[in-house]
Amino acid sequence: MMLLPVFIYSRQDTGDTFFLQKNGGYFPTRAMDLNTKDLETNIIVLVHGGGFGAWCWYKTMSLLEDSGFKVNAIDLTGSGIHCSDTNKITSISEYAEPLTSYLKGLGDAEKVILIAHDFGGACISHAMEMFPLKVAKAVFLCATMLTNGHSALDMFQQMDTNGMLQKAQEFVYSNGKDKPPTAIKIDRALLRDLLFNQSPAKDVSLASVSIRPIPFAPVMEKLTLTEEKYGSVRRFFVETTEDNAIPLSHQQSMCAANPPEKVLRLKGSDHAPFFSRPQALHKALVEIATLPPAQSS
């Protein structure tokens, strides 16, 4: 088994300077130190997870924009303020259409960095297969980083979450109980324990009134991912150590089965690091975004 380097990020506050801990040592970083115009791309696209919406990235968007990046947060079909009925979404291509439409509209020379959370990992994988030349880097933030021929449902069925995920799920059968589920709802009484066990109360409140059902058909769909397309995009994974939805052990199993270029770790983060560890997440994302282009072999 190939061992991957893991970079551990934590945060200390000292005035307006944040110090990153990288494998034991601290170094200072300031938002205004960056010249993003010199990067391979300074365009970042944020893709939310199942049930979430663009709203969940509000802290990350602000921090990245302050650092000079151009940031777009996508509402996937039936998510956030997108008006489609979640129960009528029948494929991952339909669910991810706002993302793929955005990529299709980019100029010939334009590239982006895709950052996906949770089930958004399957969506950016689908997009990487469609538009590999448009994606400079793909970041999987405690996300479904699948292999060819597998679905997110396959992954979730392999997880041991002490029954917490199963208890929190409520299936919706809009086509009748004799047909497959059309969506999954999360029991709001269990939101904090499952997703936000380290997050501020105000963000849990925001999520409790904003989360929408997750379309079930895309979760069941097995992805076709080729080495020539999907495999040509540089991938990175960000682990969350206190995650009750996708436990750290399972995140590591995904990385072992489908090794990314680099693994970074957010200590003390729950399944919503954009709420629970926004500064540490920001520094990890800047670390990835500022890596130089890969050398051609």
Tens-digit pLDDT profile for the chain (297 aa)?
Answer: 444 444 443 333 333 333 343 443 333 444 445 677 779 999 999 999 999 999 999 999 999 999 999 999 999 999 999 989 999 999 999 999 999 999 999 999 999 999 999 999 999 999 999 999 999 999 999 999 999 999 999 888 777 556 788 889 999 999 999 999 999 999 999 999 999 999 999 999 999 999 999 999 999 999 999 999 999 999 999 999 999 999 999 999 999 999 999 999 999 999 999 999 999 999 999 999 999 987 765
Q: Which of 117, 250, 271, 282 is catalytic?
A: 271
pLDDT recorded at residue 296: 62
Is 185 in contact with 213 (CB distance < 8 Å)? yes
Q: Which two tokens stand for residue 60?
A: 């990350």
In a domain, 127, yes or no: yes
pTM of the model: 0.88
Q: Which CATH number do you get for residue 262?
A: 3.40.50.1820
Q: Which two tokens stand for residue 183?
A: 């969506």
Cα torsion for 244, 22, 117, 292, to the nearest 10°?
-160
Residue reference for tokens 């400079």: 136
pLDDT recorded at residue 165: 81
Q: How many domains does the chain have?
A: 1
How far apart, in Å, do the first and last CA atoms of the chain sit?
23
Range of the domain at 251: 6-289
In a domain, 187, yes or no: yes
In a domain, 1, yes or no: no
Is 218 in contact with 245 (CB distance < 8 Å)? no
The strand pairing partners of 20, in sequence order, are: 11, 27
Single out the residue of 3, 60, 99, 16 nearest to residue 266, CA to CA. Answer: 60
The strand pairing partners of 135, in sequence order, are: 112
Helix/strand/coil (H, E, C) string of the chain?
A: CCCCCEEEECEEEECCEEEEEECCEEEEECHHHCCHHHCCCCEEEEECCCCCCHHHHHHHHHHHHHCCCEEEEECCCCCCCCCCCHHHCCCHHHHCHHHHHHHHCCCCCCCEEEEEECCHHHHHHHHHHHCHHHEEEEEEECCCCCCCCCCHHHHHHHCCCCCHHHHHEEEECCCCCCCCCCEEEECHHHHHHHHCCCCCHHHHHHHHHHCCCEEHHHHHCCCCCCCCCHHHCEEEEEEECCCCCCCHHHHHHHHHHCCCCEEEEECCCCCCHHHHCHHHHHHHHHHHHCCCCCCCC
Is 62 in contact with 55 (CB distance < 8 Å)? no
Q: Which two tokens stand for residue 15?
A: 């005035």
In a domain, 87, yes or no: yes
In a domain, 56, yes or no: yes
Cα torsion for 269, 274, 280, 286, to the nearest 10°?
140
Q: Which of 75, 118, 203, 270 is catalytic?
A: 118
Is 49 in contact with 117 (CB distance < 8 Å)? yes
pLDDT recorded at residue 9: 38
In a domain, 40, yes or no: yes
**25-29 vs 70-74, strand pairing mode:** unpaired
In a domain, 109, yes or no: yes
| Separation between Cα atoms, residue 86 and residue 247, nearest integer Å | 26
Q: How many CB atoms lie within 10 A of CB 264?
A: 24
pLDDT recorded at residue 162: 64
Is residue 271 part of the annotated active site? The answer reads yes
